[in-house]
Amino acid sequence: MDPLMATRIEPSPPTLEDRELVRRLLAKDEEAQRVFFNTYWNKLYKACVYILGGRDSEAEDLAQEAFLVALRKLPEFEFRSSLHHWLFRICTYLCYERIRQRKRQIVRVEEDLEGLRPQMLAQHQRQQDHAQGQQVLEVIEAQRGNLGEPCRGLLRLRDEQDKSYADIAKALRVPMGTVMSRLSRCKEALKQLVQKALAEGSHA
């Protein structure tokens, strides 16, 4: 059975006026349509307000929709209840269907937010990692100045100018093994300076 036609309460019997009004409505009688609307508008609107709430912006729209649905389904009306009762069931169905739609929309929004949460967390983590990386780079550059000139010169050649061990050895006229050992000591010294500065900064 069509849910718009379903009912859970004992339907009231149709009146002679119902049958005449439906006959005229099916005949596209404009005066009958005005009577139909004027007779039932307040009743349907109040039903929508009762179900949806007094301040619901869609109460009037759903009452109007109930009339449109009723006119479209009028050829299916079998006079098993009064016209008023049939209209009320249509109106009630539309109101509760709108409530269900709203609940589904809320669920979809919550699901979308849950789907975005990992992305937001990942983005936040990337921002934090970037900020921390920038902080470390600034500390490294600051601590280079606390190294002696031999170490600063070696690190410039290796890290900034990307010279090979052989090129550095040739430029300094020292064995390549000496270059490697000196660079190792310089990088270890820089590492300790940076770790100390970061530790002091975290406790500041």
Using the structure block, give the residue that is written with the tokens 């970061």.
198
Structural domain includes residue 116 = no
| Number of compact structural domains in the chain | 2
Asked if 98 and 166 sit in the same domain, the reply is no
pLDDT range class, residue 200, cuts 50, 70, 90: confident
Question: Is residue 83 a contact partner of residue 22, using CB atoms and an 8 Å limit?
Answer: yes
Distance CA 202, CA 25 (A): 81
Verify that 153 and 99 share a domain, yes or no: no
25 and 78 share one domain: yes
Please check whether residue 77 is in contact with residue 22, taking contact to mean a CB–CB distance below 8 angstroms: yes
Shared domain check, 155 and 82 = no
pLDDT tens track for 5-45: 333 434 455 555 888 998 999 998 889 889 999 999 999 99
CATH at residue 187: 1.10.10.10
DSSP-assigned letters across all residues of 79-135: SSS-HHHHHHHHHHHHHHHHHHHHHHHHHHHHHHHHHHHHHHHHHHHHHHHHHHHHH
pLDDT per residue as tens digits for the range 137-155: 777 777 777 778 888 787 7
Task: Please write the tens of the pLDDT for every residue from 92-142.
Answer: 999 988 888 887 776 675 666 566 556 655 665 666 665 666 766 777 777
CA-CA distance, 36 to 83, in Å (whole number)? Answer: 10
Same structural domain for residues 84 and 22? yes
SS3 state of residue 77: coil
Q: Could you tell me if residue 155 is inside a domain? A: yes
Q: Are residues 7 and 90 in the same domain?
A: yes
Q: Is residue 76 part of a domain?
A: yes
Residues 73 and 18 in one domain: yes
Q: Mind listing the pLDDT tens digit for each residue in 178-197?
A: 777 777 888 788 777 777 87
Is the domain of 32 the same as that of 100? yes
Asked whether residue 35 is assigned to any structural domain, the reply reads yes
111 in a domain, yes or no? no
Residues 153 and 74 in one domain: no
CA distance 90 to 97: 11
User: How many angstroms separate the CA atoms of 175 and 169, rounded?
Assistant: 6
Q: Is residue 126 part of a domain?
A: no
In a domain, 125, yes or no: no
18 is a domain residue: yes
Give me the domain span that covers residue 97. Answer: 3-106
What is the per-residue pLDDT for 9? Answer: 38
Q: 85 with 159, same domain?
A: no
